[in-house]
Amino acid sequence: MREETQPDVSQKLRKHRRNLDLLDQKLLTLFNRRLRISLEIGKIKKKMARRVYDAEREKEILNRLKRKNKGPLKESDLKRIFSMVMRISRKSQMRL
């Protein structure tokens, strides 16, 4: 088996970084799309005089995501990421 040379390793690194850059752009697009939908939900809640925070709904979301997670993302990290996403959504809804 041939050992990888420094240029081979550098090329792999650049390729992986380009892939991450593309994924980051997709995530950014998805986060913004999610927030736009969340803001629409916030407007509806406001018209219905409902509270922004719905603990049961957030628990439901986290449980669904935990069931669907196939890894390698740890459950604790998944919870931290999505709790932050939902917290940002709540704060944005509260500003409406």
Taking the C-alpha atoms of residue 63 and residue 76, their distance in angstroms, rounded to an integer, is 12
Taking the C-alpha atoms of residue 61 and residue 45, their distance in angstroms, rounded to an integer, is 18
> Is 80 exceeded by the pLDDT of residue 1?
no
Q: Could you give the percent of the chain with pLDDT greater than 70?
A: 98
> Is 90 exceeded by the pLDDT of residue 53?
yes
Q: 34 with 92: CB under 8 angstroms?
A: no
pTM of the model: 0.87
Spell out the domains of the chain, with CATH numbers in brackets.
6-94 (1.20.59.10)
Using alpha carbons, list the distances in angstroms from residue 55 to 9, 38, 61, 79, 83: 47, 15, 10, 14, 11
